[in-house]
Structure 1
Amino acid sequence: MFCLICFRSFCMLGFSLLSPQFYLTIYLSAASFCNWFMLFIIWLSTYQEVKAVHKPLEPNNNSTITFAAPPTSGLFGPIQISPAVIPRYPYPEEPFSPMYPSFPTTYEPLLTGKCPINFSAISTVIDKTSSDCSAPLAALVGNVICCPQVNSLLHIFQGHYSNSSTQLVLQNVTASDCFSDIISILASRGANITIPKLCSVKSSNLTGGTCPVTDANIFEKIVNTSKLLEACNSVDPLKECCRPVCQPAILDAALRISLRESTFGDSNIVKEPATTDVLSDCKGVVYSWLSRKLSSDAANTAFRILSACKVNKVCPLEFNQPSEVINACRDLAAPNPSCCSSLNTYIMRIQKEMLITNRQAIICATLFGSMLQKGGVMTDIYELCDVDLKDFSLQAYGQQGCLLRSWPSDVVVDNTTGYSFTCDLSDNVAAPWPSSSSISSLSLCAPEMSLPALPTLEASTNPGYHYNGYKVLVPIFSFSLLSVL
């Protein structure tokens, strides 16, 4: 527009001085120039708009999770790791470590309608069992967390069921229906459907099996119930495993009822010494009686502590014959790359099995060391190759081991963070090399073997993990678990 106005003024000023042909030529040239000028202005404004559209966006809270570096922490207080700060997996060629967000899928269970019990009365124990046996975690924590809780639930169910009668156990048909309902309810709340196989439990666990005494009145005539109740009313988690009080009382009661014949109500007929199976079934009856007398929470706590005492006495890992390690490490007096490489390769295989407790790790390290010693490896290759206790348990993110506490712990489900559990002794505590090829003399009750001392600040290479217990928020699931489950 500005060009046209200028051109018109110019034309009016000199119209009388020049010929019409000259004006026509000037007009066409000016018009062409103005057209190019206007196109330039339009292009420039368009370019500015495009640049504005491509301006980097500010962070959006609704965007997907961005993986950040692992959090730093002080020396005091639990270390809490949430899904938002889970580092990128450092080994892209391997399956993901099972440490990524997952939440339980819940639904209304389909029940048989034939189990005459109000399950809501023990809903707290059922909820705890479903979270402890959550679908993606059950196989990894089955030995230490899930299966002990499942057994506790069955004992508590027996006691609750028998409150309305004198029978401490269920009949076979009723037991089958109720067991089916229990598994269905657990699965509907996010538990793994394979619990019966994983924990080797079945409906007969509710029937008393071959135990001859299943009537509460007869039981109370045979057993010193006041002594039994006093011993198991409050179980000390620190003392029970080494200086047991409740366990001997349960064994005594089970032995007494296993040696009595209750047919036709006669409890005075002495039988032959009980077999192992009968004694085990009678222990179940004793648990059922205790469940009648204790609250659900008190019974669950007691039963879990007793289970912890049992599982912490045995290494649950499977050790294949370490021939390659023996061949590479025999007659070794100094660090050897071939030896350490072979040892690390072997340990990496067992790291994929499960989470174990700190006490189990001590037993596993001692057991494996004994196998190596029997093969001729007499040098402490744990020290030479920097093998720690945490190396015998499942590894978080492929690089940080997690040992569970030796006393009972639970998996917790949070609607925001997913599953979580507490790790203990994740510092670089050296694995103990056995003093001989025999582990029969190993005792975790000796003061010096209670648990290894944590490293000092100066000695530790990872000062961020010095607290002896930290919570790992572990919404756990990965493609690598599909083959396990």
Structure 2
Amino acid sequence: MIKKLSVLYWVFTSGSFCHLLLVIALWLCSYQNVVALSLLPKPGHISSTSELPSSPNSANFQPIEISPTMIPHYPFHGEPMPPMYPSFPKTYDPVLTGRCPVNFSVISSITAKTASDCTQSLSTVVGNVICCPQFNSLLHIFQGFYSNHSDTLVLQNAVADDCFKDIISILASRGANSSLSSMCSVKSSNLTGGSCPVKDISTFEKAVNTSKLLDSCSTVDPLKECCRPFCQPAISEAALQISGIKMTLSDNKNIVEAPTEIDTLNDCKGVVYSWIARKLRFVDANNAFRLLSSCKVNKACPLDFKQPSEVINACRNLAAPSPSCCSSLNAYITGIQKQMLITNRQAIICAAVFGYMLQKAGVMTNVYELCDVDLKDFSLQAYGQEGTNSLSETELGS
């Protein structure tokens, strides 16, 4: 028995499948020995027939022969074998309204990717970085796909509501978070063009330099777009052209004066996205929209900073490390880092924002350096091995 255990340990550490079958055979043989022996009566035991049982059949003690046909064959060498426990389906048939006039199977590749990026377990953590950008891309692509069968780039309100419900249901049926609408601040009205005055294809193509727009956004350079944007200005220009808004020049920047005009521009950008989506392949449109979202995501800090009163009181007028200051600072940062996973670029912005809040409240000492706070401390990645070097005074603006 000791030898068998040694062989079993060696097999499991070596990972040899053939040896594993051999050990299973040995164990089955041993198991039948035990079963057979268990049939023998204990001393002094008499059966109900008052006869001693006959000796066990010698066949029970013969080695078990395994036919080669019983050994499973895996055609893909190097891939892991299927698990030795039952698997359960992770999808179910969605409950659709039946009123959305779209064949969703045509865009199944994009819905599948969106569901994968927005799973229930990960969406609350990586929603800002991964899930919501992909969800918005899906809506742009759906809007453009819908326009292929009409003369408009948007959906009517009633149809938009029905289609939006179907999209959420399809994503949820594939494991996505069913609260994507509230989590990503997206509504069915995003598919309608809102207050944008131009919504039909004919008027759009007359008002916009479509050749320039398509050349700028058909291929988005992942290395250059965020630093020297090419597609983003083209979208903004097209949105301005169809919005009917007159811009005023101030400080060498185009600034919209009224908040309602900002909303109109954003609605018109949605119309522009729809036109681009109907001109590109689904995968190309998705890649372009995701890259544009990445540029936008890294421009702002998504964390919610509440007034750090305790940190301000404990860290004001320090010249040397203070246990109470660092304890208060670490407790505050621990709270905000649990909100979501953010990128390193976002972490730099968040650190600068929080540092400015402290400085404005009278904390003039670089408490990040005194308390050894890193960029990774502003994100959930602080729990892992990722991260960057400590924050410098230049990054903090102090």
**TM exceeding 0.5:** yes
How has the CA–CA distance of structure 1 residues 350 and 164 changed in structure 2, closer, same or farther, with 3 Å as cutoff?
same
Q: Distance between the aligned counterparts of 2:396 and 2:321, measured in 1?
A: 21
Contact 2:197 2:243 in 1 (8 A): yes
Partner of 1:144: 129
Q: 1:230 aligns with which of 189, 196, 215?
A: 215
Partner of 1:275: 261
How has the CA–CA distance of structure 1 residues 219 and 429 changed in structure 2, closer, same or farther, with 3 Å as cutoff?
same
2:306 counterpart of 1:320? yes
Q: Distance between the aligned counterparts of 1:106 and 1:435, measured in 2?
A: 46
Q: 1:400 aligns with which of 377, 384, 389?
A: 384
Partner of 1:429: 389
Partner of 1:284: 270
Partner of 2:328: 342
Higher RCO (CA-CA < 8 Å; seq separation 6+): 1
- CA-based RMSD of the aligned residues comes to 2.7
The alpha carbon displacement at 1:331 in A equals 2.3
The alpha carbon displacement at 1:299 in A equals 0.7
Partner of 1:121: 106
Letter in 1 for 2:391: A
Contact 2:220 2:231 in 1 (8 A): yes
2:362 counterpart of 1:376? yes
How has the CA–CA distance of structure 1 residues 427 and 193 changed in structure 2, closer, same or farther, with 3 Å as cutoff?
closer
Q: Distance between the aligned counterparts of 2:283 and 2:340, measured in 1?
A: 27
Q: Distance between the aligned counterparts of 1:430 and 1:104, measured in 2?
A: 45
Partner of 2:182: 197
Partner of 1:310: 296
The alpha carbon displacement at 1:435 in A equals 7.0
TM norm structure 2: 0.72
Partner of 1:106: 91
How has the CA–CA distance of structure 1 residues 435 and 375 changed in structure 2, closer, same or farther, with 3 Å as cutoff?
farther
Q: Distance between the aligned counterparts of 1:343 and 1:192, measured in 2?
A: 33
Partner of 2:279: 293
Contact 2:315 2:325 in 1 (8 A): yes
Q: Distance between the aligned counterparts of 2:395 and 2:94, measured in 1?
A: 54
TM norm structure 1: 0.60
Q: Deviations over 1:85-134 (max 9, x none)?
A: xxxxxxxxxxxxxxxxxx98311111112211111211111111101110
Partner of 2:39: none
Letter in 1 for 2:389: V
Contact 1:104 1:190 in 2 (8 A): no
Partner of 2:227: 242
Q: Distance between the aligned counterparts of 1:256 and 1:427, measured in 2?
A: 43
Q: Distance between the aligned counterparts of 1:428 and 1:157, measured in 2?
A: 38
2:352 counterpart of 1:366? yes
Letter in 2 for 1:430: S
- Secondary structure, in 3 states, of the residue corresponding to 1:137? helix
Letter in 1 for 2:336: I
- Secondary structure, in 3 states, of the residue corresponding to 1:136? helix
The alpha carbon displacement at 1:149 in A equals 0.9
Letter in 2 for 1:206: L
Q: Deviations over 1:239-279 (max 9, x none)?
A: 2122111111111111111119xxxxxxxxxxx99812211
Partner of 2:21: none
How has the CA–CA distance of structure 1 residues 221 and 244 changed in structure 2, closer, same or farther, with 3 Å as cutoff?
same
Q: Distance between the aligned counterparts of 1:372 and 1:119, measured in 2?
A: 50
Partner of 1:169: 154
Partner of 2:204: 219
Contact 2:114 2:134 in 1 (8 A): yes
- Secondary structure, in 3 states, of the residue corresponding to 2:120? coil
How has the CA–CA distance of structure 1 residues 436 and 176 changed in structure 2, closer, same or farther, with 3 Å as cutoff?
closer
Question: Is there any run of 5+ residues in structure 2 with no aligned partner, and where?
Answer: 13-87, 246-256
Partner of 2:50: none
Q: Distance between the aligned counterparts of 1:104 and 1:174, measured in 2?
A: 31
Q: 1:355 aligns with which of 300, 318, 341?
A: 341
Q: Distance between the aligned counterparts of 1:371 and 1:57, measured in 2?
A: 64
Q: Distance between the aligned counterparts of 1:347 and 1:207, measured in 2?
A: 40
Letter in 2 for 1:327: N
How has the CA–CA distance of structure 1 residues 435 and 298 changed in structure 2, closer, same or farther, with 3 Å as cutoff?
closer
Contact 1:366 1:434 in 2 (8 A): no
How has the CA–CA distance of structure 1 residues 435 and 182 changed in structure 2, closer, same or farther, with 3 Å as cutoff?
closer
